[in-house]
Amino acid sequence: CALNVVRKSLRLPDPDVAFTGEDYGEHWAAAMGCRHVRVSRSVAEAESGYEAATLCGTRLRKDLTSAPWQILAPVVRANMCRRVVLVGAESSGTSTLAEALAVHYASAWVPEFGKMYWQGRQHTKAANFGDDDSEFMTIAEGQASVEDRLAHQANKVIFCDTDVMTVTIWHRRYTEGRSCPSALDSLVGQRRHLVSLYILTTPDIPFVQVCGWWTFVTHTSTTPPRSYTTTTPP
């Protein structure tokens, strides 16, 4: 059956027991070739704090937007959440807006990895920034890693201060138009489908020097942007 095909393709060991509170649990366990243990819905309600109807897997799959995401496994949250990426010129409020949106929607936000990277790098005696493409790959991979890790904490949507696509723009800026390394282009292509929305902030506020890896200067910006535009992913 289809379940056997999936199990073999994933190289998973045969299950011994299936615990479910669903009406179809007995048949599902039989198809998997294991013993079924029915979980009392009253026990599930007591342990989770949610009504049994809310805990129904069938209902959750039909409408995840109305489900209490706290009961979902972190890996499920990361896979199902919408990712909103904020991009814009320096000191246009992307970090401030990302954090504010996360607070408003009771979710997580992703800081810009490049800022953290540069804060550590500026204390070294490395070559001039932009001389080595590997640094851009380090920043892109770091940004992707932080984003994926924090997505496990998302509440239906996660807000990201830039993403890997933005790194390609700064690569062109610092290398005077040199082509991006194929590995970086490949990473951007692999992650393009993850983004649901891009928000482009408008640089229409007084400039405040930010702690950015593109400026080589440490500072803090707390002024939110007064306006912004939105666009769908490319």
Q: Tens digits of per-residue pLDDT, 179-224? A: 889 999 999 999 999 999 999 998 887 777 665 555 433 333 333 3
**Residues above pLDDT 90, as percent of the chain:** 39
Q: Which amino acid is at 224?
A: P
Would you state the pLDDT for residue 141?
Answer: 97
Q: Do residues 152 and 74 touch, judged by C-beta distance below 8 A? A: yes
Q: Is the pLDDT of residue 120 over 60?
A: yes
Alpha-carbon separation of residue 89 from 23, 57, 206 (angstroms): 54, 44, 12
If pLDDT is split at 50, 70 and 90, which confidence band does 170 have? confident
Would you state the pLDDT for residue 128?
Answer: 63
Would you state the pLDDT for residue 1?
Answer: 58
Alpha-carbon separation of residue 86 from 13, 43, 89, 143, 226 (angstroms): 42, 43, 10, 13, 14
If pLDDT is split at 50, 70 and 90, which confidence band does 234 have? very low
Q: What are the structural domains, with CATH classification, of the chain?
A: 72-209 (3.40.50.300)
Would you state the pLDDT for residue 63?
Answer: 75
**C-alpha–C-alpha distance, residues 227 and 97, integer Å:** 11
**C-alpha–C-alpha distance, residues 233 and 179, integer Å:** 22
Q: Is the pLDDT of residue 139 over 90?
A: yes
If pLDDT is split at 50, 70 and 90, which confidence band does 91 have? confident
